[in-house]
Amino acid sequence: MRIGLYPGTFDPITLGHTDIIARAATLVDRLVIGVAINRDKGPLFTLEERVAMVEAECAGICDETGVEIVAHPFENLLIDCARDVGASMIIRGLRAVADFEYEFQMVGMNRAMDDRIETVFLMADARRQAIASKLVKEIARLGGDVSKFVPPEVNTALTAKYDAKR
């Protein structure tokens, strides 16, 4: 069984993420979405909220592809998470050249720790290349419309989160 791990903070999950998830699902038999517990980033959404959003958005992709997709919170090293879930590949999405430099370093470090786990890069769809969770949150915080960048349920959650802070 080919198991892939697609890690991220998913704060929040965007249409760019769901695009990569849908395409990654065609490459594996089981896809684990590693939802990072990254206290340094100070996420807007709680871990539970982020996991729930990932599960909700992946349900339709599971139905369409027939591939099992599960959310898996993690706080350890990415390579250790990959081992924990039995992944033979780590899937990463690339938006721009700047992403590649960082990802190139990560691949080198991960390969040094476990050369049995491959990293597969998927280029973001051209319509989704500019989408970044950080930018989506900033637009939403300032009252802008993010409906072009996130699924409808996530848009509702973002609006509610920032309305509660106002």
Three-state SS for 73?
A: strand
Q: Tell me which residue of 81, 69, 92, 70 sits closest to 114, measured CA to CA.
A: 81
Cα 102 to Cα 6, 68, 92, 109, 111: the distances in Å are: 16, 29, 11, 11, 14
Tokens for 56, please give them: 């909700």
Known catalytic residues are 17, 41, 95, 133
Q: Tell me which residue of 24, 48, 25, 23 sits closest to 35, measured CA to CA.
A: 48
